[in-house]
A and B are shown apart, each in its own frame.
Chain A
């Protein structure tokens, strides 16, 4: 009779040092790429398997996933707390909408809005980048409020009505797969940047070891600006995408939800990784939409969920799942 014994899933795979793996078999490779693969497959089959109400929510969730990756990236890897989600979304949305309204096709206006929008966002945030503390959070939060008032008061860019009649994606599958493709590229790209690229290492120093970075002849503000540009580009793409989801651009793109939810998603999903905020956003946005029938009461549910996570589950979902996954025990023959 064969003997059985319990073995952890990560046994022999993870050597002591952080993020150095000794890979020796197919099984071990599967252990490492398995979770990512599951996420990618999920993203690929969701668009064709969701009912149409949820398809639209998936599109919106994608925008929040991008914003949350940006928030988590700035908070965990650069040391900047950004509440600029609404600024990024509004900027990208309006640039793409305005371009589209004068005849620029959306397949051009979206990329232009992504790059130009991120550039403008970075420039307007530049004055607060050298400052330490809460200034960045405050200023990034206030700009969109200011922009919305300005648009309403001056009646520019369509005023309170916004600009309607813009291009929309040809069908819901194009809409969703564009987002899925962008999310996959951004997710793996960002994960690579923070873990393996030299720039990621510099940014980590910007967060944890300002003095060494300065003494290394590196301009702190310049690297913060690059990081803000990256996060802003993701948000601006999200805004431009929303414009062509609705075929309309208006002041609601400056809504504070875009600034706050990424923070909540990062708390729920877990800080210190790129995937934590992704998982957080993929949970929170659908929950928030499902609670919509409760009207303003949903804010209460929302607050309860947040407090629950902060108090009882501060490691975040991702770390919890990761731990369970790596320690998962199964029977093996010896």
Chain B
């Protein structure tokens, strides 16, 4: 494997809040075009890991390389500008504005201007097109509804759209499936597969293992901030530490729904 296959390399990232080690020397790398799952119980440091990679919180130690550049000390907007986009687990759209208006700011960004998404004429029209791509029904005028009134499934898509407007090379998704109904998830999985086959590298932080392993076969597992496993679904389900930390000894969580 040559080095330019690797798009993202995380090297010994560390972060403590007070006495709590939220992320404890986590390392992994990811090939261009790949999909990596990040799983772990609540509070295991998944969101913190994303915040460290994308520059939203300061690192106690460790480095992040994206496209062979050391982005460890970069500011969040510069990292996004370089092609690494992310969603937020807790979404805060412009609640009183039409949904499509949420996509205007990323279309206004320097990156969108460079990649032509932002200069294909009217930003509003481009925004509605992007929403339609991820499943907002144009005919039902969903893009024009107030963002605050949309169901969770649409809000998660809105988050993805904010990323897609930047034409990113890698998207880190923070629990896009959580809180969704089975049918909403069922329509979300093909969407993620579509993004993957469009050449976007994905990091999927997830709670839902079954859906996750439909999209990827490789995941890392966090427990109390530590990486305790890294491998295929098979390897992860058979890993003793994972069974203990994540499934509490019994693996019913994985199979039951």
Contact = CB atoms under 8 A, between A and B. Distances in A.
Interface of A: 17-18, 198-199, 201-202, 204-205, 208-209, 211-220
B101 interface: yes
Contact of B105 (A17, A18, A212): A212
Contacts of B112: 217
Interface in B6-52: none
B108 interface: yes
A202 B105 contact: yes
A214 B79 CA distance: 9
A202 B92 contact: no
Contacts of B92: 208-209, 211-212
A216 B166 CA distance: 7
Contact of B104 (A18, A198, A214, A215): A198
Contacts of B102: 212
A213 B105 contact: yes
B85 A218 contact: no
17 contacts: A18-B146, A198-B104, A198-B105, A198-B108, A201-B104, A201-B105, A201-B108, A209-B94, A212-B88, A212-B92, A215-B77, A215-B80, A215-B86, A215-B162, A216-B77, A216-B165, A217-B81
B56 A216 contact: no
Nearest to B92: A209
Contacts of B56: 211, 214
B96 interface: yes
Contacts of A220: 77
9 shortest interchain CB distances as A-B pairs: A216-B106, A217-B80, A217-B109, A214-B76, A217-B81, A217-B111, A216-B105, A214-B77, A219-B77
Contact size class for B?
20 to 34
B163 to A, nearest CB: 8
Given A215-B86, A216-B106, A218-B108, 14 more contacts: A198-B123, A209-B92, A212-B92, A212-B93, A212-B162, A214-B75, A214-B77, A215-B77, A215-B88, A216-B108, A217-B109, A217-B111, A217-B112, A217-B166
Contacts of A216: 77, 80, 105-106, 108-109, 162, 165-166
B54 interface: yes
A218 B77 contact: yes
B61 interface: no
A214 B92 CA distance: 13
A199 B108 contact: yes
Interface of B: 54, 56, 75-78, 80-81, 85-86, 88, 92-94, 96-98, 101-102, 104-112, 123, 146, 162-163, 165-166
Contacts of A205: 94, 105
B160 to A, nearest CB: 12
Contacts of A201: 94, 97, 101, 104-105, 108
A220 B162 CA distance: 16
Contact of A217 (B93, B97, B106, B123): B106
Nearest to B163: A215
B185 to A, nearest CB: 24
B111 to A, nearest CB: 5
B80 A214 contact: yes
A41 to B, nearest CB: 32
A81 B26 CA distance: 41
A216 B102 CA distance: 10
Contacts of B106: 216-218
A167 B78 CA distance: 48
Contacts of B86: 215
Contacts of B110: 217
Contacts of B163: 215
Contacts of A202: 104-105, 108
A203 B216 CA distance: 38
B142 to A, nearest CB: 14
Contacts of B76: 214-215
B80 A18 contact: no
B49 to A, nearest CB: 16
Contacts of B108: 198-199, 201-202, 216, 218
A12 to B, nearest CB: 20
A80 to B, nearest CB: 18
B45 to A, nearest CB: 19
A225 to B, nearest CB: 14
A220 to B, nearest CB: 7
